Structure 1
Amino acid sequence: MRALWRDHVVADSPDDRVVVIEGNRYFPPDTLDRSLFLASPTPYICPWKGECQYWTLRSGDDEAVDAAWSYPTPLPSAIERVGADFSGYVAFGEAVTVLPS
């Protein structure tokens, strides 16, 4: 799968490494172009996944605020529920287009 924002590939992963949770595709941390990610101060705690980290995508003066999110340390019960350790995996909102590889 490939995640595109504007003309940037923000993530590129083999499909079998992407974890789908509640219809969102979460990309492994090692498949991200971290040069485009800026940690956001937006707070959120999911009742079943735990504390969320939002990310703003930025390139030059162009940015998409809170366009991505991850769970750096999801609750153990969430990992069990999902069936995979998705710690640090990143999902994307509407500003990013996710396409099959």
Structure 2
Amino acid sequence: MKAIWNNEIIASSDNTVVVEGNHYFPPASLTMQYFKPSDKHTVCPWKGTASYYDVEVNGKANKDAAWFYPDTKSAADNIKGYVAFWRGVDVVEG
């Protein structure tokens, strides 16, 4: 799977984990130069507290376009630290 935004591959992995229709990418599969920590946090009752990244590619920013769970509840241990995308980031096979 590949995550693409602003014509750049920002993550690529053969080992994503699908939860609730979202592909979660292993942390090592991200091209970290495109990710900036965000102050946003949300809470999922069964996964825990999510943290977010802004995605910045070629001078364009996509605020809070990626999220992850740094400390999961036990039911979501399989995605601890893994990153998922929304807000116009295309996740495609490839």
TM normalised by structure 1 equals 0.87
Give, in whole Å, the separation in 2 of the partners of 1:100 and 1:60: 23
Give, in whole Å, the separation in 2 of the partners of 1:99 and 1:26: 12
TM normalised by structure 2 equals 0.93
Measured after TM superposition, the shift of residue 22 of structure 1 is 0.4
Give, in whole Å, the separation in 2 of the partners of 1:18 and 1:63: 24
Structure 2 runs not aligned, ≥5 long: none
Give, in whole Å, the separation in 1 of the partners of 2:10 and 2:58: 15
Give, in whole Å, the separation in 2 of the partners of 1:50 and 1:39: 18
Question: Does residue 1:67 correspond to 2:52, yes or no?
Answer: no
| Among candidates 21, 25, 45, match of residue 43 of structure 2 | 45
Match of 1:86 in 2: 79
Measured after TM superposition, the shift of residue 77 of structure 1 is 2.7
Query: Which one has the largest radius of gyration?
Result: 1
Give, in whole Å, the separation in 1 of the partners of 2:58 and 2:4: 16
Give, in whole Å, the separation in 1 of the partners of 2:53 and 2:70: 12
Hey, which bits of structure 1, 4+ residues long, moved more than 6 A?
A: none
Amino acid at match of 2:61: E
Give, in whole Å, the separation in 2 of the partners of 1:99 and 1:40: 24
Match of 1:12 in 2: 12
C-alpha RMSD of matched pairs (Å): 1.1
Give, in whole Å, the separation in 2 of the partners of 1:9 and 1:34: 11
Between the two proteins, the alignment pairs up a number of residues equal to: 94
Amino acid at match of 2:7: D
| Identical columns (%) | 39
